[in-house]
Amino acid sequence: MTWDARLWGALLVVCGVIFLDGLDVSMVGMSLPSIGADLGVSLASLQWVVTGYVLGYGGLLLLGGRTADLLGRRRVFLIALAVFAVVSMLSSLATNPELLIAARFVKGVAAAFTAPAALSIITTTFHEGPDRNRALSIFTTCAASGFSMGLILGGALTEVGWRWTFLAPGPVALIVLLFAIKLIPNSPRDDAAGGYDVPGAITVTGGMLSLVYAVVGAEHAGWVSVQTIGLFALAAVLLAGFVAIEQRTKHPLVRLGILRNASLRRANLAILTVFGSYVAFQLIGTLYLQNLLGWSSFETALGFLPAGLLVATLSPNIGKVVDRVGTEKMIIVAMALFVAGYALSLRIGPESAYFSTVFPTIMLLGLGFAIGFPSLNIQAVSGVPDHEQGLASGLFNTSNQVGGAVVLAIVTAVISSQTAGVSAPTGVLSAYKSGLGVVTGIAALGLVIALSGLRGLKARRAAEEREAAELAAVQDELAAEEMTPAA
C-alpha cells in the first residue's frame, strides 16, 4: 500500500491520542509527591489519583471498543476526545482529593472511548502484515514520545505548580481534535451489529473497582476483616456475573469465543504484567528520588527520560524486525529485559549514585518497552477479523489498564503497611525495596507467560506459511483469469 498525504495525516492524528495518554500518565506521575504535600494526601490515597484514571480507562474500554464498532469509529473518536480535553482543563481546578480523583476517573472514561477507536482505525485502515506493523510501530513511538515529553513538561510544570500538569493536556487535545475533524475518514454506523451490553460494562467495572478497593483498604481494615473479605467476595460475584452475562446476552460486550485465540490471550496477559509492574515502579522511583534523595520534580523527570528516548528512537524499526523474527521471540526478549531491570533496582540505597543503581534499570526498561510494546500490539490484533478489531483493541488496552490498577494497589498496600509510623530513611527504603520485590515478581510472571508462546511455534509457523501460499495461489489464479481474454 502507498501511503499518501491524507493517509499519513489520519495516522498521525490518531497517534495523537496515544501521545496524549503517554503525556498525561508521565506528567501526573512526576507531580504526585507535590500533590500529596499540597493536599495532605497519604500514599494509600495518593495512588487513587493514578488508579482512578486507569479504572475509568480499563473498566469501560470494552464498551468503548464495542461502541466504536457500532456507532462508527470517527464519531466516537471525536466526541470522546472533546470530553477528554474539557475534563483535563477542569481537573486543574480541583480543591480536594475527592474532586481530583473523580475528575481523573471521568478523564479515564473518555480515554476508554478514544483509545480503542484510534487503534481500530489503524487496524482497519492498514492491511495485516508489513503495512499494519509499520503503522503500529509509529503508533507506539508516539506513545513513547508523549511519555518522554510528559516527563520533561511534568517536571518543569510541577516546579511552578502541580495544577499545570493537569491543565496542559487539554489544549493539546483540542489541537488534535481540530485536525481529526478534517483528516479522520468516516466509518459508517453498523445498524445490523446489535445493541450495547450495559449490564456487562457495569459488572466488569464494578468488579475491578471492588477488587482494587479491597486491596488498598486491607492495610487499615485488615486482610481478614469483614470489609476486606466482603469486597473480595463482591468482586468475585460481579466478575462471575460479567462472564454469565456475556454467555447469555444476544450482543455481548466480549464475545468469549475470541479468547480461543492463543496469541491474543498471551498478549493480554503479558501486557497486564508489563504495565502493572511499570506503573508501580514509576511511583516507587519517583518517591525514592524525591523523598529520599531530595531530587526536584524536574531532576526526577530527567532521571526517567532515557527510557522514553530509547523507545522513541528504536520503536519505529521494530515492525521490520517483527516481520522477520516473529512476535513470540521479540516479546520473550523484552520480558527478560524487564525482569533484569527491576531486579537491578533492588540495589538502591539511602545515598545511592544514580548512574550506578537507577540508570541501568531505566535503560533496560527502555529497551524492553521499545521491543515489547510494538510486538504485543501486533500480536494482540493478529488474525482478528476487521469487524472485531475494536473488541480486540479494547481487550488489549483493558488488560493494560487493569494491570496498572491491580498491581499498583498491591504494591502500594505493601509499602504502606511497612511505612505506617516509620519516618527513618532506612525504614522507608526497606518498604520501597519490598515493593520493588513485588514488581520484579510480576515481571517474572510475564516472562513465564511469554515463554509459553514457544510451545507449538513451529507448527503455527508452518500453518501460517501454508495459508499464505494458498492465498497467493488463489490470487495468482484470479489474476490469470482476468488477463485471459473472453472467448
Residue 74: domain span: 1-184
332 and 452 within one domain: yes
pLDDT band at 478 (very low <50, low <70, confident <90, very high): low
Counting the structural domains of the chain, the total is: 3
Rounded distance between C-alpha atoms, residue 12 and residue 176, angstroms: 9
In a domain, residue 278? The reply is yes
Q: Is residue 321 part of a domain?
A: yes
Q: Is residue 485 part of a domain?
A: no
Instruction: Give the helix ranges, DSSP H, for 92-168.
Output: 97-125, 130-160, 163-167
| 360 plus 235 within the same structural domain | no
Last residue of a domain, one of 151, 184, 217: 184
Give the pLDDT band of residue 193 (cuts 50, 70, 90).
low
341 with 469, same domain: the answer is yes
306 and 229, same domain (yes or no): no
Neighbours of 317 (CB within 10 A): 14
Residues 401 and 273 in one domain: yes
Q: Which of 140, 139, 88 is nearest to 110 (CA)?
A: 88
Q: What is the mean pLDDT of the chain?
A: 84
Do 243 and 289 reside in the same domain of the chain? Answer: no
Residue 174 pLDDT: 93
Q: What is the CATH number of the domain that holds 268?
A: 1.20.1250.20
Q: Which of 184, 208, 224 is the last residue of a domain?
A: 184
- Decide if 316 is inside a domain: yes
Whether the pLDDT of residue 83 is over 70: the answer is yes
Residue with cell 513465564: 448
Judgement on whether residues 244 and 267 belong to the same structural domain of the protein: no
Highest mean pLDDT among 135-144, 167-176, 203-212: 167-176
Q: Which three cell numbers mark 234?
A: 463482591
Please tell me whether residues 288 and 424 are part of one structural domain: yes
pLDDT > 70: what percent of the chain? 90
Are 225 and 321 in the same domain? no
Mean pLDDT of 64-86: 85
Q: Are 149 and 214 found together in one domain? A: no
Residues 37 and 165 in one domain: yes
Chain segment 386-440, per-residue pLDDT in tens: 777 767 777 887 888 788 888 988 898 889 888 877 778 889 999 999 999 999 9
> Which cell goes with 158?
510541577
